Structures are given as structure tokens and as C-alpha cells.
Amino acid sequence: MEIVLAKVWTFWIAVALVVPSILVVLGIIGMYVKKVVMPRYPKR
């Protein structure tokens, strides 16, 4: 029973670490585009 609980626990820890990591990467890319790329191409 302990092995099953360990696998379930590690699965949820993995989800809890991967989802915020992906969001952080997307946020960094979004801020880069907003701060660096957007000023190069101003709206007309």
C-alpha cells in the first residue's frame, strides 16, 4: 500500500511543479515580447 501512495504522491507533486513552471516560462516569453519586441513595431 505504501508504494501505491508513494506513486500517487509523486504524480501530484510532479503536476504541482510542472504547471507553474510552464506558466513561468510563458510569462517570461510574454513579458519579453511586451517589453522588447512591441516597442520595435509601434501601432500606427
The residue ranges of every structural domain in the chain are: 2-40
Identify the pLDDT of residue 10. Answer: 78
Identify the pLDDT of residue 11. Answer: 80
Q: Measure the CA dihedral 12/14/20/25, to 10°.
A: -160
Identify the pLDDT of residue 1. Answer: 65
| Rounded-to-integer distance, Cα 34 and Cα 15, Å | 28
Give the sign of the dihedral formed by CA 16, CA 17, CA 18, CA 24: positive
| Rounded-to-integer distance, Cα 7 and Cα 14, Å | 10
Identify the pLDDT of residue 23. Answer: 98
Low-confidence residues of the chain: pLDDT under 70: 1, 5-6
| Rounded-to-integer distance, Cα 34 and Cα 27, Å | 10
CA angle 34, 25, 38 (to 5 degrees): 10
Identify the pLDDT of residue 26. Answer: 98
